[in-house]
């Protein structure tokens, strides 16, 4: 099973709302990632969790707050977002193998901030 699942598929939120995006994998992967992707652009890395600890934060604004409750789950908590935060949010996971490490992506959550 090489599936990464993400919920919800679509999310519309106001600038004062609080919402969360969820990601799950059951491949035994020890690294999980959040990416942001704007239209016609490549994904931009936001956060990396390695062995359930935050290992990379790409200078993401604090209105985005990641959480890794266990090795299979990854959340992204959203609060006081701006319209420019509207994008496709992708989750990915990987083994963290030193001999070569491919990332498997979920289908994404399409976020619209109004």
Nearest residue to 64 (alpha-carbon basis) of 84, 92, 40: 84
Q: Could you tell me if 66 and 54 are in contact, meaning their C-beta atoms sit under 8 angstroms apart?
A: yes
Size of the site for other proteins (CB under 8 A): 30
Give the Cα separation of 100 and 13 in Å (integer). Answer: 38
DSSP state of 86: -
Q: Which of 33, 76, 78, 85 touches other proteins by CB under 8 A?
A: 33
Tell me the C-alpha distance between 33 and 90, whole Å.
8
**Nearest distance, CB of residue 51 and other proteins, angstroms:** 10
Stretch that binds other proteins, among 11-19, 61-69, 74-82, 94-102 (CB under 8 A): 94-102
DSSP-based three-state secondary structure for 88: strand
Q: Which two tokens stand for residue 56?
A: 């990379």
Give the nearest distance from C-beta 16 to other proteins in angstroms.
Answer: 27
- Cβ proximity to other proteins: between 72 and 80 the closer is 72
Q: Which of 15, 18, 26, 56 binds other proteins (CB under 8 A)?
A: 56
What minimum distance in Å lies between the beta carbon of 80 and other proteins?
26
Q: Does 78 bind other proteins (CB under 8 A)?
A: no
């Amino acid at each position: 099973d090489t599936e990464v699942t993400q919920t919800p598929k679509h999310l519309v939120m106001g600038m004062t709302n609080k919402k969360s995006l969820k990601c799950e994998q059951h491949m035994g992967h020890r690294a999980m990632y959040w990416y942001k992707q704007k239209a016609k652009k490549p994904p931009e890395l936001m956060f990396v969790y390695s062995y359930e600890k935050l290992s990379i934060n790409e200078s993401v604004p604090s209105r985005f707050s990641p959480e890794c409750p266990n090795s299979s789950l990854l959340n992204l908590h959203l609060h006081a977002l701006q319209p420019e935060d509207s994008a496709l949010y992708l989750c990915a996971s990987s083994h963290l193998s030193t001999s070569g490490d491919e990332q498997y992506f979920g289908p994404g959550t399409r976020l619209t901030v109004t």
